A and B are shown apart, each in its own frame.
Chain A
Amino acid sequence: SAVISQKPSRDICQRGTSLTIQCQVDSQVTMMFWYRQQPGQSLTLIATANQGSEATYESGFVIDKFPISRPNLTFSTLTVSNMSPEDSSIYLCSVEESAYNEQFFGPGTRLTVL
């Protein structure tokens, strides 16, 4: 399976600031996904990132708040903009292995906003 890394692994930020999370995969993948897991909750899909096109956002998530870049087939970034304490969550990226449709997740970025 693909090996996925995320940076940073955790961060504590002040409200009103922005944080960019990086996701790196060890092989080329078509689709990358970004999820949010709020404290004690399940995962919710933020957006789907296809290389060379605009990300597709789920209901309740907007590009101004969560801009995404996908410059190549092994890398993506998610920015959490103008943060508030409600943005405190674990943010995870995932990739799908096209042959079997299994989706694998990175280790996550734990964000705390004060």
Chain B
Amino acid sequence: SQQGEEDPQALSIQEGENATMNCSYKTSINNLQWYRQNSGRGLVHLILIRSNEREKHSGRLRVTLDTSKKSSSLLITASRAADTASYFCATGEKIKAAGNKLTFGGGTRVLVKP
């Protein structure tokens, strides 16, 4: 079963507006990562936030993490038509051998209208 749930499932905005999507999860995590996927193609890594961090920025992206509420949000500011894509959160749980096992949320489909 999926660890994360994303909200909303779909979002339609005008170019220039901000887009916010939320991710909730159930168990303890090591980190949380956000990805973008265009039309069923490969995943593009956007940003990683560690469990001891509360906020991170990268360009027009802002990610927050609230471990007490087990939730994260991704904000895209000043959206562009090229931001049209599906966005996924993935929670990372540390595994014994090495690395983190990712569990993905259901995704948010974002449409940015010109």
In the assembled complex, which residues on chain A have CB atoms less than 8 Å from the CB atom of B100? Answer: 96, 101, 103
Taking a contact as CB atoms under 8 Å apart, the answer to whether A96 and B107 are in contact is: no
Residue tally, chain B, CB below 8 Å to A = 27
CB contacts (< 8 Å) of A62 on chain B: these are: none
For the residues of B in contact with A, the DSSP-based class is strand
In the bound complex, CA of A53 to CA of B96 (Å): 13
| Total residues of chain A contacting the partner, CB 8 A | 29
- B103 to chain A: closest residue by CB: A45
Complex: A53 Cα to B42 Cα, angstroms: 27
What is the distance, in angstroms, from B91's C-beta to the closest C-beta of chain A? 11
- Report B's interface with A, CB cutoff 8 A: 2, 30-31, 33, 35, 40-43, 45, 48, 50, 88, 90, 92, 95, 97-107
Q: Given A90-B40, A103-B92, A108-B42, does the pair A45, B102 have CB atoms closer than 8 Å?
A: yes
Report chain A residues within 8 Å CB of B45: 1, 102-105
Residues of B within 8 A of A79 (CB): none
The reply to whether the CB of A15 lies closer than 8 angstroms to some CB of chain B is: no
What per-residue 1/0 map shows which CB atoms of A71-114 lie under 8 Å from chain B? 00000000000000000001010101010111111111010000
